[in-house]
Amino acid sequence: MGIISKLVGRARAMTMEEFDNQVLSRFRSGYGAGMHIDEERALKLITVFSCVRVIAETIATLPLDVFQERPEGGKDKARGHPVHELLHYRPNNEMTSATWRETSTGHLALSGNTYSVITLNGRGQPMELYPVDWHLIFPQRNPNTERIEYVYNDRGKVEIFPAERVFHVPGWGFDGIRGYSPIRTAASTMGIGLATQEFTERFYTQGMNIGGILEHPGGLSDPAYERLKEWLEEKGSGMANSWKPLILEEGMKYSRIPIPLADAQFIETQKFTRDEICGLFRVPPHMVGNLERATFSNIEHQSIEFVMYTLMPYITKYEQAMNWRLFTKQEREQGLYVKFNVNGLLRGDYKSRQEGLAIQRQNGVINADDWRELEEMNPIPDGSGQVYMVNGNMIPSDLAGKKTVKQVPEGGE
């Protein structure tokens, strides 16, 4: 990251105290169930961790390539372009493409923003992408130029980056510049989940969890009490002794006390919080281990909806930000662009889509090259893909009305 300092054109002076004040004004912790809520604390909830993980890991494993459009139609992978090296293999000297995307998507899902500093070569092409923690950088509008710039705390040194040097993908937010943190926005739900989790933990570690009671009709002498206590601690406790019978003397009785934890509605509260968190991240419950309402048929449809309604917003934002920040205007005009491939995640829906395209093909709506373009394939080289085909037993509707029946002469055949 040392090269980052050399890439900053002119850094406006700002003290660390001023930076901290700016950060506090933008990233104040939420407040729920009597505790402060932030992204790091929310990750202690297994449902939050699972939702962020499944989104980040899925985005990280999708094929991502740079393409060059052909003038006559179609496209080719632009393997020689520097951006292809960054996004397909190695965004920096410390990470693979999957690690960078996983880290960036985790930041985006948790905080509503993801940032990476862009290192450019002498021709203005990106040579390195390095992720930056969302709490160390924030966008602001320069009062003099009215342009967006990024204030970055680089290991205690505050620097100002122009927007061209920062790869920023914001989530949903009112100003369109900085996304809102889902965790802090839903601080109340997070607080309930954390409070329930902490209470349950304290119930087992610090609560008075008496498994049973020994009743004696009279009083035990001190030697008898000590002998019984010593026997219980050595022979009557622990998993190894859990099924051994108790030897009781002098009319002593043993009564077991069940722990009515379910009566306190802990389980119901935990289920409700789990469903609320899944709804916040739009992750189907079965993907975080909740199979209560899962069936063989609805899991497939929920998985497809996960791609359509959960992943596609991330994918679209990534693609548009990459095309904007990682290519020059001239390169975009030349037809360079990046694209994720999600066909592997839509196997169930893929069959239905192919059947629909086949119907269009058979009815002359599309030709083979149109079909191949929709599937990210190049046109057929010999040009035969431009031919439109129809079923042989079909005729135009205007000819159907003109069809005549051959008249047979009277008395003839």
Tell me the domain boundaries of the chain: 1-209+260-343, 211-258, 346-407
Q: Kindly report, residue by residue over 188-199, the tens digit of the pLDDT.
A: 999 988 888 887
The residue-averaged pLDDT of 367-377 equals 85
CB 341 within 8 A of CB 62: yes
CB 361 within 8 A of CB 389: yes
pLDDT on residue 217: 82
- The answer on pLDDT for 182 being more than 70 is yes
Percentage, residues of the chain above pLDDT 90: 38
Q: How far apart are CA 102 and CA 335, in angstroms?
A: 27
Q: How far apart are CA 8 and CA 374, in angstroms?
A: 42
pLDDT on residue 3: 42
pLDDT on residue 300: 74
pLDDT on residue 126: 93
Determine the angle formed by the axes of helices 266-281 and 187-205, rounding to 10 degrees.
150
CB 110 within 8 A of CB 45: no
What count of other Cβ atoms lies within 10 Å of the Cβ of residue 113? 23
pLDDT on residue 56: 97
pTM of the predicted protein model: 0.72
pLDDT on residue 377: 85
pLDDT on residue 55: 97
Q: Kindly report, residue by residue over 202-226, the tens digit of the pLDDT.
A: 766 755 555 677 787 887 888 888 8
